[in-house]
């Protein structure tokens, strides 16, 4: 008999077709973002859940799920939306979708760097209003060539970004839980502390997972470590930035510009960013290409299939 799977958000058609062949699926045809209560209700009678980053599957939700749920397969590489510890205690496997979104996300990381350094937000505004005049000093930004890029979190996405940024002539520095092998470092300089990394970061790209340790890692105190006029970008999760302190740093020009693809409380954003011309903000587009989204959903489906066939999946994270 086919396993019954709740798919919490609408997937691309080819992915829903494949899931329907493998499982008895409960699809979300209107792509409603389910409340926690509704998610628990809909999971009744199911063996697994294919979740998205918009589902907050915390302790309360996990403890309310029916005992039949054996796997939560998250349609994302990040899994901060799921309390993996509590899931483990309940014997529920949690999986994610690494690798397949690395390049797409690194592209957006580079776009954030370019957009923030070259004042894209202001430029787009002027272009749309048709009220600009070319001049020698019009919208002068910061050039990347020869500048130092600090990468916080040198996992797959961080390393893919390093490769792209090197082709722009940037010098790569990084902080990671552990120092990488020389092959993986590929010429980048490891820093033992965030203080050391931030102090050489003309531009910072946040590429690390959201954990208790990284929550609000950019805050009033750590912002002081940066060179004056640094640029900060975030392609990982909003949790890493203490917004009030960040907005203050942009206002007093300690930080020259910010590039954000992710922020706390999406789709809401701290209002302080909205009236900052130097904030280049995107709506969580990191993995948003057809190829990548198809591959991510495909992997999320495969993770479930493999789990029920073998009792294992190489992408279990808890």
CB under 6 A: which stretch of 10-18, 38-46, 74-82, 165-173 binds ligand DGY?
74-82
| Shortest Å distance, C-beta 42 to ligand DGY | 22
Q: Which of 122, 171, 185, 266 is catalytic?
A: 266
* Residue closer to ligand DGY, measured from CB, 235 or 247: 235
Strand 148-152 to strand 171-175: parallel, antiparallel, or no bridges (unpaired)? parallel
Rg (CA), the chain: 21
* Residue closer to ligand DGY, measured from CB, 78 or 141: 78
d(CA 69, CA 53): 18
Concerning whether 237 is annotated as a catalytic residue, the answer is yes
Helix (H) or strand (E) holding 13: helix 13-22
| Shortest Å distance, C-beta 244 to ligand DGY | 24
| Shortest Å distance, C-beta 262 to ligand DGY | 7
* Residue closer to ligand DGY, measured from CB, 82 or 113: 82
d(CA 115, CA 99): 25
| Start-end of H helices in 212-289 | 220-223, 243-251, 271-274
Q: What's the start-to-end Cα distance of the chain, in Å?
A: 27
CB under 6 A: which stretch of 72-80, 191-199, 216-224, 267-275 binds ligand DGY?
72-80
Concerning whether 13 is annotated as a catalytic residue, the answer is no
DSSP 8-state assignment for residue 239: G
**84 contributes a contact to ligand DGY by CB under 6 A:** no
| Shortest Å distance, C-beta 298 to ligand DGY | 14
**7 contributes a contact to ligand DGY by CB under 6 A:** no
| Shortest Å distance, C-beta 269 to ligand DGY | 16
Q: Provide DSSP, 93-110.
A: EEE---STTHHHHHHHHH
* Residue closer to ligand DGY, measured from CB, 97 or 121: 97
d(CA 15, CA 73): 14
272-311: contacts with ligand DGY (CB under 6 A): 284, 286-287
d(CA 25, CA 37): 19
Number of residues near ligand DGY (by CB under 6 A): 8
**240 contributes a contact to ligand DGY by CB under 6 A:** no
Where does residue 318 rank: exposed (0-12), middle (13-18), buried (19+ CB within 10 A)? middle
**53 contributes a contact to ligand DGY by CB under 6 A:** yes
Concerning whether 270 is annotated as a catalytic residue, the answer is no
**101 contributes a contact to ligand DGY by CB under 6 A:** yes
| Shortest Å distance, C-beta 286 to ligand DGY | 5
- Angle between the 13-22 and 290-310 helix axes, to the nearest 10 degrees? 10
**157 contributes a contact to ligand DGY by CB under 6 A:** no
| Shortest Å distance, C-beta 292 to ligand DGY | 8
User: Which of 279-317 are b and which e, b meaning 16 or more Cβ less than 10 Å from the residue's Cβ?
Assistant: bbbbebbbbebeebbbbbbbbbbbbbbbbbeeeebebbb
Q: Name the token pair of 181.
A: 């092998």
Considering only residues 78, 115, 158, 238, which one is a binding residue for ligand DGY as defined by CB under 6 A? 78
* Residue closer to ligand DGY, measured from CB, 43 or 234: 234
**153 contributes a contact to ligand DGY by CB under 6 A:** no
Contacting positions for ligand DGY (CB under 6 A): 53, 76-78, 101, 284, 286-287
Would you name the residues annotated as active-site residues? 237, 266, 284
């Amino acid at each position: 008999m086919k396993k019954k799977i709740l798919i919490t958000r609408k997937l691309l058609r080819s992915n829903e077709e494949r899931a329907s062949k493998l499982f008895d699926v409960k699809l979300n045809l209107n792509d409603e973002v389910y409340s926690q209560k509704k998610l628990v209700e809909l999971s009744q009678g199911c063996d697994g859940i294919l979740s998205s980053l918009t589902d907050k599957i915390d302790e309360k939700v996990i403890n309310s799920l029916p005992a039949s749920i054996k796997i939560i397969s998250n349609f994302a590489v990040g899994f901060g939306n799921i309390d993996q510890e509590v899931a483990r205690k309940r014997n529920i496997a949690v999986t994610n979708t690494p690798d397949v979104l690395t390049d797409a996300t690194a592209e957006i990381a580079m776009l954030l760097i370019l957009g923030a350094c070259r004042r894209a937000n202001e430029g787009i505004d002027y272009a749309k209003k048709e009220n600009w005049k070319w001049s020698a000093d019009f919208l002068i930004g910061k050039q990347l060539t020869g500048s130092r890029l600090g990468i916080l979190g040198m996992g797959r996405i961080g390393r893919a970004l390093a490769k792209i940024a090197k082709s722009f002539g940037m010098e790569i520095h990084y902080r990671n839980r552990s120092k990488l092998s020389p092959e993986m470092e590929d010429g980048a300089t490891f820093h033992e502390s965030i203080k050391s990394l931030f102090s050489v970061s003309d531009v910072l790209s946040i590429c690390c997972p959201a954990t208790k340790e990284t929550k609000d890692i950019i805050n009033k105190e750590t912002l002081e470590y940066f060179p004056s006029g640094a640029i900060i970008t975030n392609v990982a999760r909003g949790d890493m930035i203490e917004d009030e302190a960040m907005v203050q740093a942009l206002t007093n020009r300690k930080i020259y510009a910010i590039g954000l693809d992710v922020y706390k409380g999406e789709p809401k954003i701290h209002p302080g960013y909205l009236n900052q011309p130097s904030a280049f903000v995107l709506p969580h587009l990191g993995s948003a290409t057809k190829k990548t989204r198809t591959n991510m959903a495909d992997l999320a489906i495969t993770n479930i299939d493999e789990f029920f066939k073998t009792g294992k999946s190489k992408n279990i994270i808890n």
